Amino acid sequence: MLIHCLGAAAGGGYPQWNCACAGCRKARAKPEIGTTHAGIAVSGTGEQWFLLNATPDVHHQIAADPSLHPGPEIRTTPIAGVLLTDAEFDHTIGLLMLREESSLTVYGTFPVLEALALWFPVRQLLSDYADFSWSQVETGTPLDLDDRLRVTAFRTGSKAPRYIGRSRLRDQSSEWEVGFRLEDKVTGGIAVYAPTLPQWDEKFAEQVASADCVFLDGTFWTDDEMSSQGAGGRTGRSMGHMPVSGDDGSARNLAALPAKRKIYTHINNTNPILDEESKERRWVTDLGIEVGRAGLEVEV
């Protein structure tokens, strides 16, 4: 199984267009350290690829990865589908960028596909532009994407996008947020992609215990990161993201896993681990954890 990291930033990218935090100022001064929105591409053989989330930067991400380039025919593409972890804008806007008469399958849970039909009507908007199939996934039920690649969705959280609104929620415990467990049926290799994780509970521990590679939610360094930097008043946990650091953070649990590769992704522009020269970056690196970046490749 081949995994290509297409970007590692949380919503807004890095730098974020309207942010003047220390990290964003540095990324503007040194554009080479910036990163596009978080997403990966996965393939069993290197011939057919599936995107995990379709970010606002998806056309740039495809252009930057030769494995995803079209050909040999004028309108053939190696991209066969998109797996959605949620219905957030930064994971679904890219579907609109893939509209040029492409034939793709989009996989998501029932509430995610419903949101894209009713409240952010991507499905209707695309109906006259692209030949998309919309396929519902059931958590805990394995799905074969091809002869080699098998995927199983598992629930990570129940936070609906803000554009849904509480008055529209039919079931506040619905599977709004999922991770994906990816399995190569030939090598037996397993990778987990979970860009949103509100808590590291026993069920999540089971998903990553036998994984060879884990891409994990690294949105915030601390729970109060936004307020402490004057970038907002909401806590990380209220947005569905457990912090990286602290006794209740994800880093020490992640470091303790037997996985050969442990990689933070979906990292907010305010998080100091994006800065290669920061003490926070050195701390996670010393734990054996990598920070995601466009161009990073993993073979499992």
Give tens-digit pLDDT for 15-30.
999 999 999 999 999 9
Distance CA 175, CA 58 (A): 25
Q: Does the pTM of the predicted model rise above 0.85?
A: yes
In sequence order, what are the residues at sequence separation of 6 or more whose Cβ sits closer than 8 angstroms to the Cβ of residue 130? 98, 99, 100, 101, 102, 103, 104
Distance CA 70, CA 62 (A): 9
Ordered by where they begin, the domains of the chain are 2-299 (3.60.15.10)
Residues of the chain with pLDDT under 50: none
Q: Is 204:194 a contact under the CB 8 Å cutoff? A: yes
Strands 190-194 and 213-217 come out as parallel
User: Encoding tokens for residue 47?
Assistant: 């011939």
pLDDT digits (tens, 9 = 90+) for 51-77: 999 999 999 999 999 999 999 999 899
Burial of 205 (0-12, 13-18, 19+ CB in 10 A): exposed
pLDDT digits (tens, 9 = 90+) for 208-242: 999 999 999 999 999 999 999 989 889 999 999 99
pLDDT at 170: 67
Distance CA 39, CA 292 (A): 10
Average pLDDT for the chain: 95
